[in-house]
């Protein structure tokens, strides 16, 4: 078993992160497996070395030791690029120059608002025809979207988390209708969260992905990509989210306290485990 914790160095770790890290760590240790660390720093504008250093410090303080070298997404751009080139040449991607405004204006029933997919506004497909690859055309340096109609297939994956335990089905129709042509490369990033996470989980040999249940819809995209790219599909374990007494997600609260703050106030790693209900 190989699990991972994959934080973005864009701010301090808080209780929700601690929970996710402990779940992944404990699952691997209980099985005599490996627990890996990946720094998801493709958002160059928001990622800061100081936050990355804080992640290492917080994990060490929590007593979570990771195996092997840390993988940083910022060092993986050539791998993302190679995959995009392949998908582009196969006609599975198209260039999209739409702004948020364009997407709103192109919606079939704008008065009802643009329907939402897992990444925000559901893309109406405006650029699908005009952005397609012409033979021999190099990868354009704009946003690239996946032709979901060509990419998605019916299938199931294995889920061990409490809310969806079993073999949740992914339907091609629903991927086309409810998810749409997701962005696989943002112009300024050379990749996207979905593409990077799928290629990195494969490169790190992750067998069990533990993540919050807020990412359940994203998992369907990831499994679709794994099948398309011929990658192994890991087992998924979606865990609950840490909430306060009012049911509000701790991670989303303005006053969500950084782990470092609990520590400065004298909390122990055992206190943190107790606070997150472990
Ligand atoms: N960087 C992502 C996060 O912290 C990784 C989660 C995932 O892909 O499972 O939410
Ligand atoms: Zn477009």
The reply to whether 173 and 153 lie within a common domain is yes
The stretches of 100-256 forming alpha helices (DSSP H) are 100-106, 148-151, 172-174, 193-203, 216-229
In the prediction, which pLDDT does 123 show?
95
**Domain check: are 113 and 198 in the same one?**
yes
Q: 191, 184 in Cβ contact below 8 A?
A: yes
Going by alpha carbons, the residue nearest to atom 1 of ligand 1 is 7
Mutate to test the pocket of ligand 1, among 2, 40, 199 (most ligand atoms within 8 A of CB): 40
Same domain, 66 and 115: no
pLDDT surpassing 80 at residue 253 = no
**Can you spell out the DSSP letters for 91-142?**
T-EEEE---HHHHHHH-SSGGG-PPEETTEEPP--TTTTTTBPPTTPPPPSS
Q: What band does 245 get if pLDDT is binned at 50, 70 and 90?
A: low
Q: Which atom of ligand 1 is nearest to the CA of 197?
A: 8
Does residue 277 surpass a pLDDT of 70?
yes
Which residue's alpha carbon is at the smallest distance from atom 7 of ligand 1?
211
Same domain, 185 and 140: yes
Taking the CA of residue 212 as reference, the ligand 1 atom at the shortest distance is 9
Whether 148 and 34 map to the same domain: the answer is no
Interatomic CA distance for residues 44 and 276, integer angstroms: 30
Q: Which residues surround the ion ligand 2 when the cut-off is CB under 5 Å? A: 96, 98, 126-127
Q: Are residues 90 and 187 in the same domain?
A: yes
| Token digits of residue 46 | 């928001």
User: From atom 3 of ligand 1, which residue's Cα is the shortest distance away?
Assistant: 7
Residue 159 has pLDDT above 70, yes or no: yes
- Flag whether 185 is in a domain: yes
Task: Judge if 88 and 197 occupy the same domain.
Answer: yes
**Domain match, 94 and 159 both:** yes
Residue 94's domain is classified under what CATH number? 3.40.50.620
Q: Are residues 134 and 199 in the same domain?
A: yes
Domain-embedded: residue 225? no
Q: For residue 59, tell me if it sits in a domain.
A: yes
The pTM of the full predicted model, rounded to 2 decimals, is 0.94
In short, whether 210's Cβ falls inside 6 Å of ligand 1 is: no
pLDDT at 11 over 80: yes
Kindly indicate the confidence band of residue 255, based on its pLDDT and cuts at 50, 70 and 90.
low
Average pLDDT over residues 48-74: 98
List beta partners, residue 155.
170
Residue 224 lies in a domain: no
Q: Are residues 151 and 249 in the same domain?
A: no
Give distance in angstroms: CA of 133 to centre of ligand 1: 31
Q: Which atom of ligand 1 is nearest to the CA of 210?
A: 9
7 lines ligand 1 (CB under 6 A): yes
Residue 213 included in any domain: no
**pLDDT of residue 250 exceeding 70:** no
* Number of domains composing the chain: 2
Same domain, 37 and 129: no
Residue 9: which of 37, 45, 49 has the closest Cα?
49
Q: Is 9 in the pocket of ligand 1 (CB under 6 A)?
A: no
For residue 87, report the distance from its CA to the centre of ligand 2, in Å. Answer: 18
pLDDT of 207 over the 90 cut: yes
Burial of 258 (0-12, 13-18, 19+ CB in 10 A): middle
Is 47 found in the same domain as 95? no
Domain boundary (157, 188, 204) is at 204
CA-closest residue to ligand 1 atom 8: 197
> Among candidates 130, 103, 105, which has minimal Cα distance to 119?
103
pLDDT level of residue 257 (50, 70, 90 thresholds): confident
Classify residue 28: in a domain, yes or no: yes
At 133, the pLDDT band (50, 70, 90 cuts) reads confident
Q: Please give the positions annotated as active site.
A: 252
pLDDT of residue 243 exceeding 80:
no
Kindly give the distance from the C-alpha atom of residue 174 to the centroid of ligand 1, in angstroms, as a whole number.
23
Under the banding of pLDDT at 50, 70 and 90, the label for residue 135 is confident
Q: Give 251's pLDDT tier (boundaries 50, 70, 90).
A: low
Report the chain's terminal Cα–Cα distance, integer Å.
21
246 inside domain: yes
Host domain of residue 9 = 1-74+242-278
Give the confidence band of 29 by pLDDT, cuts at 50, 70, 90. Answer: very high
137 in a structural domain: yes
Residue 256 pLDDT class (50, 70, 90 cuts): low
Taking the mean position of all CA atoms in its chain, how far away is CA 262?
Answer: 27
């Amino acid at each position: 078993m190989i699990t991972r914790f994959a934080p973005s160095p864009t701010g301090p770790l808080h209780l929700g992160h601690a929970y996710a890290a402990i779940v992944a760590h404990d699952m691997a240790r209980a099985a005599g497996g490996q627990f890996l660390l990946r720094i998801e720093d493709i958002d160059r504008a928001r990622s800061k070395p100081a936050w990355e250093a804080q992640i290492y410090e917080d994990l060490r303080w929590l007593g979570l030791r990771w195996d092997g070298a840390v993988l940083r997404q910022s060092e993986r751009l050539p791998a993302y690029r190679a995959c995009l080139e392949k998908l582009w040449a196969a006609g599975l991607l198209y260039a999209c120059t739409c702004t948020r405004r364009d997407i709103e204006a192109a919606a079939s029933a704008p008065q009802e608002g643009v329907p939402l997919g897992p990444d925000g506004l559901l893309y109406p497909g405006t650029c699908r025809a005009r952005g397609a690859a012409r033979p021999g055309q190099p990868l354009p340096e704009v946003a690239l979207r996946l032709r979901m109609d060509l990419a998605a297939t019916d299938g199931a994956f294995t889920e061990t988390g409490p809310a969806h335990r079993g073999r949740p089905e992914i339907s091609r129709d629903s991927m086309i209708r409810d998810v749409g042509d997701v962005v696989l490369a943002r112009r300024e990033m050379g990749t996207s969260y979905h593409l990077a996470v799928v290629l990195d989980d494969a490169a790190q040999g992750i067998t069990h992905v533990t993540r919050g249940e807020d990412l359940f819809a994203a998992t369907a995209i990831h499994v679709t990509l794994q099948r398309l790219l011929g990658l192994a599909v890991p087992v998924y374990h979606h865990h609950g989210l840490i909430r306060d007494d009012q049911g509000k997600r701790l991670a989303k609260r303005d006053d969500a306290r950084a782990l470092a703050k609990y520590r400065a106030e004298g909390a122990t790693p055992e206190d943190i485990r107790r606070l997150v209900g472990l």
